[in-house]
Amino acid sequence: MSELDHYDYALPRELIAQQPLKNRADARLLVVDRRSGELTHAHVRDLPELLNPADCLVLNDTLVVAARLIGRRKSTSGRWEGLFLSVDDDGFWRIICKTRGKLAPGDAITLIDREAQEDIELWLLEKQEGGVWVALPKSDESPWDILDRLGRVPLPNYIRKGEMIDEDRQHYQTVFARAPGSAAAPTAGLHFTEALLTQLKSQGLDTATVTLHVGLDTFRPVKVDTLAEHQMHSEWCQVDEEAVSTIKRRRSSGGRIISVGTTTLRVLETAARGGELQPFRGSTDLFIRPPFEFHTTDALLTNFHLPRSTLLVLVRTFGGDELIQRAYQEAIQEDYRFYSYGDAMLFKNLGYPLRLPSVSPPPPPHHCQPTINRAILCPNGSPLRTSFARIRTMSQVQTERVLVVPTPVFHDIGHFQGFSQDAQRYLDGLLRDEHLSFRARHEVEEDPSFKQLIPYVIFRYTDPQNGDMVFQYTRGTGQGEGRLHRKRSIGIGGHISSEDADNRTGTAAYEIGLQRELSEEVAIETEFDASCVGLINDDDTEVGRVHLGIVHIYDVKQPAISPRETDIAEAGFEPIDALLANQKQFETWSQICLEALFG
């Protein structure tokens, strides 16, 4: 058994999609959770519910050119078929020719349009390595105009034996295609409609575009016995500064980077070969195969790929060998549609760290520069401590507008005192456009008819020797709530302002505000799993009557959390037992959470 046999599988021919669905977003979506191994059946149209507002979709904007040409040899009238590969600055084409008999430099080809009418001539000038010919059209038209007029979409042979119909010119193109140059579509992108992209963006998701011009080699099976022997084809690609900036900004604020397609993933990994994503322009022959360390992508949306192909090798490298094998078996059993016009898979919660240039918080006033001493968890389990100089900045409470919900809405869902673990029921009722608004903070601080929504994030780390530990910190006497000065806390968060939320409403306002608030207060330099675990309500205090806490736990892989704010006296991870033993040192919400979640 060769290594390539490991990447083979049997597929019933009737599952090979011959045309796309009428509505692209109606394609089925097999959601694969790598951590739990769970497989969930959904549709592409469900992406707004599956993705987070802080996430970033990375799209390949290549445009498929009608690169397949039909013609007749002028000397023999024999049928000729060609595939346009590229054009240089002097107008010389690179093409692959297919015909009966031997071609020679100087031969002329009469190209035939899609109505079988003769058109312009193409002169063959020189044969190069790999069967590629240099050719020159006898025309003043641009190559793109010629191909648009005479070319056929070069469909793979498994779709109607490669024969194009008129609808393929639209179907075999993404709605965001901009850069002409591909001989094949980046098929994961075919599932998106303008309406779906608009809906995702309205929820807060961002998009970044990269370019990789896909060649027909992408469909060819690996024909050697071992992956190490395979010579990967080369394709032109680009990642510009704008894309890098967008990805960096979203990742630093806690969003996930979602590659739409294997071509996008290859571009990003090419641009991050040194471990850090940077602008890139050139050719790539990157073959992603085991073992491979991914640097750029947290989740991958992709189609189902051919057996023994480099694309299937990539997917199994990314998603895990056994899990992908099980996912493909599930898709076949459930009659999913395969290949270019078929259904899709979404790998979520992969959590690969994106190693980008660090994003620093805004500098403090020049007259008071903080000193930061970052330590690591000691071998004996003693807490990580960080010392900060204290500075004081002007309060913006008088002008800030914060996210609130009417208190009666909270009571209608179900009033409680203390902690409730029924997070989803409350969030479904509270985070509605008709209930949420932004109001002047100095007014609602004195108005118990409104509850200010406060995200409250707890970082938990499981140490191999000392068990569960929680990040805690002590505020100084600088800015922030006076009631918290010199108090210990386990929660990171604060008011969500209209500026934080980009004036969005509903769930998007909360999610974006949460991520921005978090990115302002702490630097998260590790992978993590996030979950919403409950709500805090404390009507026994004057402050509590106007606030409602939404509690999130971030389970981090490493204790690499450090405050950005400069009025923190000390911070670090401590064992839960130690925190419980000193509950009275903590502010009220921390005491409530310690008792409810860890007591």
Angle at 79 between CA 75 and CA 80, to 5 degrees: 90
Say what the pLDDT of residue 154 is: 87
Using CA atoms, how far residue 25 sits from 191, 195, 198, 315, 343, in Å, is 5, 9, 13, 22, 10
Using CA atoms, how far residue 462 sits from 33, 575, 578, 580, 582, in Å, is 21, 9, 15, 16, 20
User: Is residue 471 pLDDT above 80, yes or no?
Assistant: yes
Q: Is 496 in the same domain as 555?
A: yes
Overall number of domains in the chain: 3
DSSP code of residue 545: G
Report pLDDT digits (tens) over 25-78. Answer: 999 999 998 878 899 999 999 999 999 888 999 999 999 999 999 999 999 999
Q: Tell whether 195 is covered by a domain.
A: yes
User: Is residue 360 pLDDT above 70, yes or no?
Assistant: no
Q: Is 102 in the same domain as 58?
A: no
The pLDDT of 211-239, averaged and rounded, is 86
Say what the pLDDT of residue 223 is: 84
Which of 186-195, 415-424, 469-478 is modeled with the greatest confidence?
186-195
Report pLDDT digits (tens) over 274-314. Answer: 789 999 999 999 999 998 989 999 999 999 999 999 999 99
The rounded distance, in Å, linking the Cα atoms of 574 and 340 is 51
Which of 42-46, 228-232, 351-355, 509-513 is modeled with the greatest confidence?
42-46
* pLDDT tier for residue 8 given thresholds of 50, 70 and 90: very high
Q: Is 258 in the same domain as 197?
A: yes
Q: Is 179 in the same domain as 32?
A: yes
The rounded distance, in Å, linking the Cα atoms of 51 and 396 is 33
Using CA atoms, how far residue 214 sits from 43, 65, 241, 349, 465, in Å, is 26, 10, 22, 27, 49
Say what the pLDDT of residue 316 is: 94
User: Is residue 354 pLDDT above 50, yes or no?
Assistant: no
Can you read off the two tokens belonging to residue 132?
A: 């590629």
* pLDDT tier for residue 349 given thresholds of 50, 70 and 90: low
Say what the pLDDT of residue 219 is: 63
* pLDDT tier for residue 395 given thresholds of 50, 70 and 90: very low
The rounded distance, in Å, linking the Cα atoms of 79 and 98 is 9
Q: Give the global pTM.
A: 0.60
User: Is residue 371 pLDDT above 50, yes or no?
Assistant: no
Dmax (CA) of the chain: 96
User: Is residue 230 pLDDT above 80, yes or no?
Assistant: yes
Q: Which of residues 152, 175, 198 is at a domain's end?
A: 152
Say what the pLDDT of residue 303 is: 98
Report pLDDT digits (tens) over 500-517. Answer: 666 566 677 788 888 888
The pLDDT of 356-369, averaged and rounded, is 31
Say what the pLDDT of residue 456 is: 95
Q: Is 134 in the same domain as 182?
A: no
Q: Is 534 in the same domain as 577?
A: yes
Say what the pLDDT of residue 348 is: 80
Mean pLDDT of the residues in the chain: 85
Owning domain of residue 518: 401-598
Question: Who's near 172: CB < 8 A, 6+ residues apart?
Answer: 64, 153, 155, 185, 190, 340
Say what the pLDDT of residue 440 is: 87
Q: Which of residues 348, 364, 382 is at a domain's end?
A: 348
Using CA atoms, how far residue 246 sits from 10, 205, 222, 278, in Å, is 41, 11, 35, 12
The pLDDT of 162-178, averaged and rounded, is 92
Q: Tell whether 391 is covered by a domain.
A: no
Q: Tell whether 368 is covered by a domain.
A: no
Q: Tell whether 440 is covered by a domain.
A: yes
Q: Is 412 in the same domain as 561?
A: yes
Q: Is 196 in the same domain as 298?
A: yes
The sign of the torsion formed by the CA atoms of 411, 414, 420, 426 equals negative
Q: Is 204 in the same domain as 309?
A: yes
The sign of the torsion formed by the CA atoms of 301, 304, 306, 308 equals positive
CATH number of the domain encompassing residue 334 = 3.40.1780.10
Say what the pLDDT of residue 476 is: 62
Reference 150, options 120, 183, 185, 177; nearest CA is 120
Can you read off the two tokens belonging to residue 461?
A: 């780390």
* pLDDT tier for residue 368 given thresholds of 50, 70 and 90: very low
End-to-end CA distance of the chain: 55
CATH number of the domain encompassing residue 449 = 3.90.79.10
Q: Tell whether 540 is covered by a domain.
A: yes
User: Is residue 399 pLDDT above 50, yes or no?
Assistant: yes
Report pLDDT digits (tens) over 407-443. Answer: 988 998 999 999 999 998 999 889 888 888 888 888 8
Q: Tell whether 406 is covered by a domain.
A: yes
Q: Tell whether 364 is covered by a domain.
A: no
Higher pLDDT, 30 or 528: 30
User: Is residue 497 pLDDT above 90, yes or no?
Assistant: no
Contact yes or no for 95/123 (Cβ under 8 A): no
CATH number of the domain encompassing residue 120 = 2.40.10.240
Q: Is 432 in the same domain as 568?
A: yes
Q: Tell whether 183 is covered by a domain.
A: yes
Which helix (DSSP H) or strand (DSSP E) does residue 333 occupy? helix 321-333
Q: Which of residues 123, 152, 181 is at a domain's end?
A: 152
Say what the pLDDT of residue 20 is: 95
Q: Is 420 in the same domain as 561?
A: yes
Percentage of the residues of the chain whose pLDDT score is greater than 70: 87
Q: Is 33 in the same domain as 78?
A: no
The rounded distance, in Å, linking the Cα atoms of 538 and 415 is 11
